[in-house]
Structure 1
Amino acid sequence: MSSPGPVIIPVYLDLVPCHGCGACAEVAPELFGMDQSIEQPFLKADEALEEVVRQAIAYCPNDCISTDVEE
Protein backbone atom coordinates (compact mmCIF):
# COMPACT_ATOMS: atom_id res chain seq x y z
CA MET A 1 0.00 0.00 0.00
CA SER A 2 1.54 3.32 -1.03
CA SER A 3 1.28 6.49 1.01
CA PRO A 4 -0.71 9.39 -0.44
CA GLY A 5 1.23 11.99 -2.40
CA PRO A 6 1.64 15.61 -1.40
CA VAL A 7 -1.61 17.42 -0.70
CA ILE A 8 -2.20 20.67 -2.60
CA ILE A 9 -4.67 23.14 -1.04
CA PRO A 10 -5.93 26.61 -1.96
CA VAL A 11 -4.51 29.66 -0.22
CA TYR A 12 -6.09 33.08 0.31
CA LEU A 13 -4.53 36.31 1.49
CA ASP A 14 -6.58 39.04 3.23
CA LEU A 15 -4.66 42.31 3.12
CA VAL A 16 -7.11 44.22 5.35
CA PRO A 17 -5.57 43.07 8.66
CA CYS A 18 -2.04 42.85 7.18
CA HIS A 19 0.66 45.05 8.69
CA GLY A 20 3.29 44.07 6.13
CA CYS A 21 5.58 42.24 8.55
CA GLY A 22 6.80 39.91 5.78
CA ALA A 23 6.65 36.73 7.89
CA CYS A 24 4.79 34.90 5.12
CA ALA A 25 7.43 35.77 2.52
CA GLU A 26 10.20 34.67 4.88
CA VAL A 27 8.56 31.35 5.76
CA ALA A 28 7.23 30.52 2.29
CA PRO A 29 9.10 32.53 -0.37
CA GLU A 30 7.89 30.15 -3.07
CA LEU A 31 4.29 31.17 -2.26
CA PHE A 32 4.53 34.80 -1.08
CA GLY A 33 6.41 37.82 -2.32
CA MET A 34 6.66 41.29 -0.81
CA ASP A 35 5.83 44.46 -2.71
CA GLN A 36 8.31 46.81 -1.06
CA SER A 37 6.70 49.92 -2.57
CA ILE A 38 3.47 49.36 -0.59
CA GLU A 39 4.96 47.10 2.11
CA GLN A 40 2.43 44.32 1.57
CA PRO A 41 2.70 40.69 0.53
CA PHE A 42 1.25 39.13 -2.60
CA LEU A 43 0.49 35.56 -3.61
CA LYS A 44 2.67 33.93 -6.22
CA ALA A 45 0.20 31.03 -6.60
CA ASP A 46 -3.43 30.23 -5.76
CA GLU A 47 -2.55 26.88 -4.21
CA ALA A 48 0.42 25.15 -2.65
CA LEU A 49 1.53 22.18 -0.61
CA GLU A 50 -0.58 21.92 2.53
CA GLU A 51 2.54 21.88 4.73
CA VAL A 52 3.76 25.18 3.26
CA VAL A 53 0.35 26.88 3.60
CA ARG A 54 -0.12 25.66 7.19
CA GLN A 55 3.33 26.91 8.17
CA ALA A 56 2.63 30.36 6.69
CA ILE A 57 -0.72 30.48 8.53
CA ALA A 58 1.04 29.63 11.80
CA TYR A 59 3.61 32.41 11.38
CA CYS A 60 1.20 35.19 10.33
CA PRO A 61 0.60 37.39 13.41
CA ASN A 62 -2.63 38.91 12.02
CA ASP A 63 -4.40 35.85 10.60
CA CYS A 64 -4.21 37.18 7.03
CA ILE A 65 -3.73 33.77 5.42
CA SER A 66 -6.41 31.10 5.12
CA THR A 67 -7.31 28.03 3.11
CA ASP A 68 -10.94 29.03 2.67
CA VAL A 69 -12.51 32.36 1.73
CA GLU A 70 -14.97 31.91 4.58
CA GLU A 71 -12.30 31.53 7.30
Structure 2
Amino acid sequence: MDTMQKDIVCGMEVTTDTPFHTEFEGETYYFCSEHCLEKFNIEPKLFTVKKEQEDCCGLHHHDNT
Protein backbone atom coordinates (compact mmCIF):
# COMPACT_ATOMS: atom_id res chain seq x y z
CA MET A 1 0.00 0.00 0.00
CA ASP A 2 1.31 3.42 -0.96
CA THR A 3 1.62 6.11 1.66
CA MET A 4 0.92 9.80 1.31
CA GLN A 5 3.62 12.45 1.32
CA LYS A 6 3.45 16.22 0.92
CA ASP A 7 4.86 17.83 -2.22
CA ILE A 8 7.14 20.42 -0.57
CA VAL A 9 6.93 22.72 -3.58
CA CYS A 10 3.15 23.20 -3.74
CA GLY A 11 1.88 21.48 -0.58
CA MET A 12 -0.31 18.93 -2.38
CA GLU A 13 -0.63 15.43 -0.90
CA VAL A 14 0.76 12.76 -3.26
CA THR A 15 1.23 8.99 -3.06
CA THR A 16 4.69 7.49 -2.90
CA ASP A 17 4.06 5.62 -6.16
CA THR A 18 4.25 8.90 -8.11
CA PRO A 19 6.79 8.85 -10.94
CA PHE A 20 7.87 12.34 -9.82
CA HIS A 21 10.37 11.88 -7.01
CA THR A 22 14.02 12.56 -6.29
CA GLU A 23 16.60 12.12 -3.56
CA PHE A 24 18.41 15.03 -1.97
CA GLU A 25 20.88 14.76 0.92
CA GLY A 26 19.74 11.21 1.71
CA GLU A 27 16.00 11.95 1.78
CA THR A 28 13.41 11.12 -0.88
CA TYR A 29 11.01 13.88 -1.92
CA TYR A 30 7.76 13.28 -3.83
CA PHE A 31 6.02 15.67 -6.22
CA CYS A 32 2.60 16.01 -7.84
CA SER A 33 3.98 16.87 -11.28
CA GLU A 34 7.06 17.19 -13.42
CA HIS A 35 6.78 20.97 -12.99
CA CYS A 36 7.17 20.74 -9.18
CA LEU A 37 10.00 18.22 -9.52
CA GLU A 38 11.88 20.48 -11.93
CA LYS A 39 11.31 23.52 -9.72
CA PHE A 40 12.77 21.60 -6.75
CA ASN A 41 15.76 20.36 -8.77
CA ILE A 42 16.69 23.91 -9.81
CA GLU A 43 17.19 25.04 -6.20
CA PRO A 44 16.46 22.29 -3.63
CA LYS A 45 17.79 24.28 -0.66
CA LEU A 46 15.05 26.84 -1.26
CA PHE A 47 12.54 24.20 -0.15
CA THR A 48 14.55 22.06 2.27
CA VAL A 49 15.96 24.86 4.44
CA LYS A 50 12.44 26.06 5.27
CA LYS A 51 11.43 22.49 6.11
CA GLU A 52 14.39 22.09 8.47
CA GLN A 53 13.52 25.35 10.25
CA GLU A 54 9.87 24.33 10.70
CA ASP A 55 10.88 20.94 12.12
CA CYS A 56 12.42 22.65 15.16
CA CYS A 57 9.32 22.92 17.35
CA GLY A 58 7.84 25.62 15.12
CA LEU A 59 10.35 28.11 16.52
CA HIS A 60 12.29 30.60 14.48
CA HIS A 61 15.19 32.92 15.22
CA HIS A 62 15.33 36.68 14.90
CA ASP A 63 18.77 38.23 14.55
CA ASN A 64 18.49 41.27 16.82
CA THR A 65 22.10 42.41 16.81
Q: TM-score by structure 1 length?
A: 0.28
Structure with higher Rg: it is 2
Bigger RCO of structures 1 and 2 (CA < 8 A, at least 6 apart): 1
Q: TM-score by structure 2 length?
A: 0.30
Structure number with higher helix proportion? 2
